[in-house]
Structure 1
Amino acid sequence: MSTATDDTRTEDRPSGTIETSAGHTSIVERVQAVQSAWILGVLVVIIAVFGLMAPSTFLTVGNATNIAQNVSIWAVLAVGVTFVIITSGIDLSIGSVLVVSSVVAAQVMERMGDQGWGTAAVGLVLSVLVGIFWGCFNGFMVAKANVPPLIVTLGTLSIALGIAQILTGGVDVRSAPTVLQDNIGYGRLAGIPVISIIALVIVVLGGILLHKTRFGRYTYAIGSNETSARRVGINVDRKLLQIYGFTGFLAGIAGLLSLAQYGTTTIAGQSLTNLNVIAAVVIGGTSIFGGTGTMFGSMVGLFIPAVLQAGFVIIGVSPYWQTVAVGSILIAAVYVDQHRRANEARGK
């Protein structure tokens, strides 16, 4: 009984301690700003190149709208993945969690038979609950069972996808309510896709949670030095459970958004979603070693593959070159991160 009380008391104590014990908060913020500026510069150069090569087709409102719509679902997933990677973790299961969440929601909505908002609301609740379940399972195995995140989420990637295939027999459910497709998947508000507006709201809220709250400070503290975080009184296990659960929650939302956009589940279409989102977050400056990252950087990193794909299609280059370019930028981003860390270590 006393242990639980102490746990709660110490949890409220360390917000000032973390910032002062790190002693380098302003330096870290400057480094993150430099990283974000660097990757934003890369994105601007890519846009400029394609704009010069195809100004009449690439630099158009329609093309920009299509790019924004294409990255919307990935953006929702990237919010959670940013939190996870900042803790020096990884989540390879997000694509499969999206799939199984959408499958459960689609099957129940199909059995309900109605095409209205009531059915869509039930689908949203179910999709989110399934996502939270898988996220909390990942968090429990990482925090309590001490299984490495790579192994846990690689396992749940396979399990969640397998369950989705068992439930459907491997055949996509093609009966998403029309209200979802008409109002969210293809809906527009002042010319902007509704799905992109939803994604933007989630990104902004995620950024506030990461950068302006104690929850975000604890996330950085765990990734910077988990042992030190425990010593100053942070309940690291609980925070990891919450962070992975939050990531699953967002995967559940992304599952319903996917149904709205495509009108069907995408069992075979999410095989590279996890890698694309993780690559975008890392390219955006979130360190795979933990403790560093910004929501802004993750979003900029997310637009790089989307802009490359759109640009290659417009200028008539095989879109397969997109994966080559993204892979090259990813390696360069990790190299820069390692070089920065080595310089910091020598500076100490």
Structure 2
Amino acid sequence: MIRLNAKAAGGDGTERETGAERLSRLIGGGWIFLLLFGLIVIFSVMRPEQFGSSYNLTMLAVNAAILLVLSIGQTFVIASAGIDLSVGAVLVFSSVTSAQVMLWLSGTPGGTYGTTDGGWGVIGAGLVVALVSGAGWGALNGFLVAFARIPPLIVTLGSLGMALGFAQILTGGVDVRAVPELLVSEIGAGTIAGVPVLVIIAVIVTIVAAIVLHLTRFGLHVFAVGSNAEASRRSGIRLRSRIVQIYVLSGALAGLAAMMSIARFSTTTIGGHAMDNLSTISAVVLGGTSLFGGIGSIAGTVIGVFIPIVLLNGFVILGIPPFWQTVAMGAVLILAVWIDQLKRRARERG
């Protein structure tokens, strides 16, 4: 059998890189970082007094913090050759259940606007509810994928609609706007040594996730499942249990992001997370995690997260209508998948 070489021979007998290989090598060498840097430069030049202000840069970091926590969960899922389209809806559902519990514990009637007097005990209860709510949806997703063997795309698309629908049923489609003032002032707007608390939370989650993914048996199993699920099962990995655990982790992180969102916006923002699934997938794939599984990087996800955040922020500053922001996010997702395809082809050619 004749094996086609991945590199074409030139007239002088030397081998030349194909265009796809060259682009893939550039991408692997930090092209995503250069893309992010280019976006920052463009917006800084067009609106230097707005985009480059310390306030806007701080807001970029805060907004990225919430998306980063969501994207870290997505990284584990995609690295295992799965996908989670429900992260935004799970965030919304978790924020609704958490906000309603905090509202009830604060003794404030439902529907009250503004902050409540709930203390750290109330906030702690709200956090537990958010984490359990998110993990519950993750467990459902993981069970259906692992045991019912329904494709993750279908499962998480269905749970997206269910989670968002239940959130709207619980609230009548109206945001819960009464949250503990302490949560907003100390977490949402609070700082430690000048660094926003939300950013600190995201940094801690990122460090822990990087350790888990790259230095623990669980992380090794994530990559093994993504590379070859059947081989993983034969090697002794409890495949179904691991898949459920991966989706539970993604759901729990969506629950944590829900609490961060409540603290940031002082409301549940039911209609504010419609694009979170696209944003997380784009960020994860742009960061180097393969949609086909087996390859992933938390550090890459961090860089990838800032691309949609910077892009949307720049559009707002330039006054571009929100409809075009949606178009841009779709284009970024297509770009991310195309880049992943190029990298995969280059790896297959050796």
TM class by smaller structure: 0.7 to 0.9
Q: Which of 38, 43, 60 is 1:45 aligned to?
A: 38
2:175 is the alignment partner of 1:172: yes
Task: State the Cα distance separating 1:108 from its structure 2 match.
Answer: 1.4
- d(CA) in 1 for partners of 2:175, 2:245: 31
2:160 is the alignment partner of 1:157: yes
Q: Which of 286, 289, 292 is 1:286 aligned to?
A: 289
Quick check: 37-46 or 335-344, which moved more?
335-344
Quick check: 186-195 or 139-148, which moved more?
186-195
Task: State the Cα distance separating 1:34 from its structure 2 match.
Answer: 5.1
2:344 is the alignment partner of 1:344: no
| Counterpart residue number, 1:273 | 276
- d(CA) in 1 for partners of 2:72, 2:56: 24
| Aligned partners of 2:79 and 2:293 also within 8 Å | yes
2:185 is the alignment partner of 1:182: yes
| Counterpart residue number, 2:150 | 147
Spell out structure 1 runs of 4+ moving beyond 6 A. none
2:60 is the alignment partner of 1:81: no
**CA 1:87–1:32 in structure 2 vs 1: closer, same or farther (change >3 Å)?**
farther
- d(CA) in 1 for partners of 2:50, 2:208: 33
- d(CA) in 2 for partners of 1:144, 1:244: 13
Task: State the Cα distance separating 1:318 from its structure 2 match.
Answer: 4.2
| Aligned partners of 2:278 and 2:330 also within 8 Å | no
Task: State the Cα distance separating 1:333 from its structure 2 match.
Answer: 2.8
Q: What does residue range 64-103 of structure 1 map to in structure 2 within 5 Å?
A: 64-103=57-96
Q: What amino acid maps onto 2:305 in structure 1?
A: L
| Counterpart residue number, 2:257 | 254
2:50 is the alignment partner of 1:57: yes
Q: Aligned with 1:175: secondary structure?
A: coil
Q: Aligned with 1:92: secondary structure?
A: coil
**CA 1:332–1:291 in structure 2 vs 1: closer, same or farther (change >3 Å)?**
same
Q: Aligned with 1:264: secondary structure?
A: coil
Q: What amino acid maps onto 1:106 in structure 2?
A: A
In the comparison of the two structures, how many residue pairs are matched? 317
Q: Deviations over 1:19-60 (max 9, x none)?
A: xxxxxxxxxxxx899537111111011112222333333223
Q: What does residue range 212-251 of structure 1 map to in structure 2 within 5 Å?
A: 212-251=215-254
- d(CA) in 2 for partners of 1:317, 1:37: 29
- d(CA) in 1 for partners of 2:26, 2:90: 32
- d(CA) in 1 for partners of 2:189, 2:282: 28
Q: What amino acid maps onto 2:69 in structure 1?
A: V
Q: What amino acid maps onto 1:173 in structure 2?
A: V
**CA 1:122–1:36 in structure 2 vs 1: closer, same or farther (change >3 Å)?**
farther
| Counterpart residue number, 1:15 | none
- d(CA) in 2 for partners of 1:259, 1:208: 28
| Aligned partners of 2:213 and 2:219 also within 8 Å | yes
Q: Aligned with 2:294: secondary structure?
A: coil
Task: State the Cα distance separating 1:222 from its structure 2 match.
Answer: 0.8
Q: Deviations over 1:214-241 (max 9, x none)?
A: 1111111111111111121111111111
- d(CA) in 2 for partners of 1:131, 1:33: 38
- d(CA) in 1 for partners of 2:25, 2:181: 43
| Aligned partners of 1:32 and 1:292 also within 8 Å | no
| Aligned partners of 1:32 and 1:285 also within 8 Å | no
| Aligned partners of 2:286 and 2:339 also within 8 Å | no
- d(CA) in 1 for partners of 2:215, 2:257: 24
Q: Aligned with 2:81: secondary structure?
A: coil
Task: State the Cα distance separating 1:273 from its structure 2 match.
Answer: 1.4
**CA 1:32–1:256 in structure 2 vs 1: closer, same or farther (change >3 Å)?**
farther
| Aligned partners of 1:36 and 1:296 also within 8 Å | no
Give the helix-richer structure, 1 or 2.
Answer: 1
- d(CA) in 2 for partners of 1:36, 1:209: 24
Q: Aligned with 2:230: secondary structure?
A: helix
Q: Aligned with 1:126: secondary structure?
A: helix
Q: Pairwise CA RMSD of aligned residues?
A: 1.9
**CA 1:188–1:236 in structure 2 vs 1: closer, same or farther (change >3 Å)?**
same
Q: Deviations over 1:189-214 (max 9, x none)?
A: 22221111111111111111111111
Q: What amino acid maps onto 2:180 in structure 1?
A: P
Q: Which runs of 5+ in 2 are unaligned?
A: 1-23, 107-116
- d(CA) in 1 for partners of 2:322, 2:273: 17
Quick check: 240-249 or 113-122, which moved more?
113-122
2:124 is the alignment partner of 1:121: yes
Q: What amino acid maps onto 2:179 in structure 1?
A: A
